[in-house]
Amino acid sequence: MTKLPFFPALAGLLLCASAIHAQIDLGAAPAKAKVSAGLVAEVTQAAPGAPFKVAVRLVHEEGWHTYGKELPPEVIGKPTRLIWTLPDGWKVEDMPWPATHEVPSTDGKTSEGYDGTVHLPARIIPAGRAGDTGEIVVKVDALACDPQNCMPAKAEARLSITLADKVVLNEAAGELFARSMAPAAENKTTVAPARSFGVLLVFAFIGGLILNVMPCVFPVLGIKIMGVVQQAGEDRRRVLLHGLAYTFGILLCFWALGSLVVVLGKSWGFQLQSAGFNLAMCAFFLVFALNMAGVFEIGASAVGVGADLQARQGLGGSFFSGLLATVVATPCSAPFLGPALGFAVTLPVLEALLMFTFIGLGLASPFLLLSLMPGLVSALPRPGAWMESFKQGMSFLLFGTVAYFVWVLAGMIEGQPLLFTLLGLVVVALGCWIYGRWSPPHKPARTRRTAVVLALAAVAGGLFLGWPQVEKGPVTSGASTENGLTWEAWSPELVDTLRAEGRAVYVDYTARWCLTCQVNKRVYKDAGLQRFIAEKKVALLKADWTNEDPRITEALAVLGKAAVPVNVLYIPGQTDPHVLPELLTVENVSDAFGRIP
């Protein structure tokens, strides 16, 4: 029986690192902060146990605004949060904030928030002894918007206060604290209760679980199926170790990618917006598919090596499968996962990582459950000679994945560069054939060494030949026809213009690398739905996120989303857009259009 080969775990780490490298390559120079923060106290010297007031001074760049502590139901935005770090024993108490006022917002609308300079008060109760010095740190977590864009706004301020037997007032700030920091007027509307963090953790777990059956994870289906079948012949401890290694691989990559998303403010699934990363995925899946098809065997020379070494390679393979599953699952926004992802990217790092951990546990849970319940594994067919045919059959899933990634690349590059990319993949395949033909253990050592060198040179040369050179920016411009419907290229200005004309506007936020987006497009073929669109004179706009586009990233942030697919309908006479479910059906799209008067 041919043992299912896996690359060493190091290959998995390199794969995850390549996603991180793609993230860094995608990032432009940091944008100028739209909101800055300062901290002022009504005292220059405080007494232990004597409360004093502080105010967080927010200074907004001209034309930009943030939101208040709470949002009324009709306002789409994000409440401003103050995160305090105080010396041991010190306490902070909330105080009413100044009233918000009308500010110009996106899509030609107005909203309620703060602009210019505003002071947000709080009360500090110090602890300690005279002579101590305490540092007050406040972090501001907000959403900054102007009439065209919205983006996360994070600022930090620090202030040191010395404790003494007697309080000394800050005369320079006396006028600030003397005049009324008018609290917000009593809101007669009921603020819609937000979902609790615990509920969103449950959503995150369910969304990760659903990812297992989403088309995004199909590329690794053959790998995972072969791994489970192989485990059917192993003891309980080995099966459990495989499950734990697979789970740890998923969690490690989720933590790495999630940290980058939160810290750098990038989009979820960012790595697939890089043409270079997509080429690397093409080459990787091509190599793996040729391996499963029997063109060559990784590790065939390990026959006769000790069982311990083989065991480490097997666990490394499970760990690597977890990394791979995460990398290819990131562009998906499964049901229940969308709200969790949208919320996670606005959280502090530790809370966000907990959210990503639950998503990862959901993705890993079927295989972890299988490893914890060996009776289920024993019910699978026993390993045997049939596995070779099964393995080769599974290779066609990966060949299909190669075809899909080539199609994604065709949306990023065109003309002669695309030809060189395809030729580069042919050279990569040639390297695999050389390795399989002349590196088996029965060949002379010199022949095997030469084959390895030539194979590596061919793979490296193929990647060099086919490496895509693209300019980042919107993928489409002008109109395009798809499934019998005409779609205009999205822009915030076009949305504003069409809505001002009283038109219903339907926006499809999509990307070529998003498999769920492609599955959703099947609904637009429905003849009844097409008649509905024509009768209602709905303007169809496509926001193509295949390449990085900051405008789309900001528009998704306003909607509370961090991944595609997102489909939105703007109905004439209504301020707030109607956001459709992640998975479209003819019924739910027709129901949305039925809301148009």
Biggest alpha carbon–alpha carbon distance for the chain: 90
- So what's the pLDDT on residue 26? 41
Q: Tell me which of 97-101, 126-130, 221-225 is least confident.
A: 221-225
The reply to whether omega before 565 is within 30° of 0 (cis) is yes
Q: Is the pLDDT of residue 435 over 60?
A: yes
Q: Which amino acid is at 291?
A: N
pLDDT of res. 333: 52
> Residue 562 has what pLDDT?
72
pLDDT at 268 (0 to 100) = 58
> What is the structure's pLDDT at 542?
93
pLDDT digits 0-9 by tens, 88-123: 889 888 888 888 888 887 666 778 889 988 989 998
C-beta separation of 53 from 177 below 8 A: yes
Can you give the pLDDT at residue 477?
Answer: 52
User: Quick one: pLDDT band at residue 405, thresholds 50, 70, 90?
Assistant: confident
Task: List pLDDT tens digits, range 540-574.
Answer: 999 998 887 888 887 887 787 777 889 999 998 88
Q: Write down the pLDDT at residue 364.
A: 82
| pLDDT digit string, tens, across residues 32-47 | 568 999 999 988 899 8
Higher-confidence position of 48 and 224: 48
> For residues 235 and 12, which has the higher predicted lDDT (pLDDT)?
235
Least confident residue range of 50-59, 335-344, 355-364, 464-473: 335-344
pLDDT score recorded for residue 5: 41
**Residue 384 vs residue 541, higher pLDDT:** 541
3-state secondary structure of 480: strand
- The whole-number pLDDT of residue 374 equals 62
Residue 401, pLDDT > 70, answer: yes
| Average predicted confidence (pLDDT) for the chain | 76
pLDDT score at 443? 85
> Which CATH number describes the domain made up of 43-169?
2.60.40.1250
Spatial contact of 363 and 250, defined as CB atoms under 8 Å apart: yes
Q: What is the pLDDT, as a whole number, of residue 269?
A: 60
Burial of 299 (0-12, 13-18, 19+ CB in 10 A): middle
The predicted model gives 343-372 an average pLDDT of: 76
| pLDDT tens-place string over residues 416-430 | 788 888 999 999 999
Give the rounded percent of residues in the chain with a pLDDT score beyond 90: 15
What is the pTM for the complete model shown? 0.48
pLDDT at 343: 58
Q: With 50 as the cut, is the pLDDT of residue 30 above it?
A: no
CATH number of 479-593: 3.40.30.10
Give the residue from 427, 387, 131, 490 showing the smallest Cα distance to 287: 427
What long-range pairs does 50-54 form, CB within 8 A, spacing at least 24? 50/125, 50/126, 50/167, 51/93, 51/123, 51/124, 51/125, 52/123, 52/124, 52/126, 52/167, 53/95, 53/121, 53/122, 53/123, 53/124, 53/177, 54/121, 54/122, 54/123, 54/124, 54/136, 54/159
Any idea which of 15-24, 151-160, 423-432, 503-512 has the lowest mean pLDDT?
Answer: 15-24
